[in-house]
Structure 1
């Protein structure tokens, strides 16, 4: 991790130096892990509030969702918009850079579907994936 100053505050940022010389390593340092691709996939369809993301992902803790969203925001992948309302409202959406990950995320989803069908002999998906799949196919 490296410390930088952004908007007058210190922020920890993952180093993007590739140890292996492979660009895949850089990609994984930005959007890799268990939760980030799932969060990004759910944001492909537009703005979502924190509670919507939390409900749609299910197994993620609020603390982990907050941490992952902050890292994605610091990387310029997710835009966080805070509205001056009572109670406060916060929306998350993909930036243009984040939207450029759509083909990668769709390919990951498609690969997972085929893997589940062929190797796990399970062609059933959680409802949220099935809905996203239908929306993207249309």
Structure 2
């Protein structure tokens, strides 16, 4: 992954392709494989990328299971319509929350989204 991103600007494409060709190719491949296409098409790759990248960054930053647990806690707060950092009071938890938020914001930045997009994290990164 890092080799694909090396030397690229935020707005650069990794591979220049026409969107309609990509969608058609994905649709054809899914049909040939007998996979039911539930209207996601290529967008499902963004979900897969987000999940894999979060996992990669959590490991790189030494957050591992604790970070993943914090992420799920934040998403549960979001689903309950509370502030994402609701109930995070101790210094240790607050520091962990800040590190997890940086991971989430990094992935959203790579996907072309802004910071603090817990609404998207709830879709892309939820267990």
TM-score, normalised by the number of residues in structure 2: 0.35
| Structure with greater proportional strand content | 1
Which gives a bigger RCO, structure 1 or 2 (Cα 8 Å, sep 6+)? 2
| Structure with greater proportional helix content | 2
TM-score, normalised by the number of residues in structure 1: 0.33
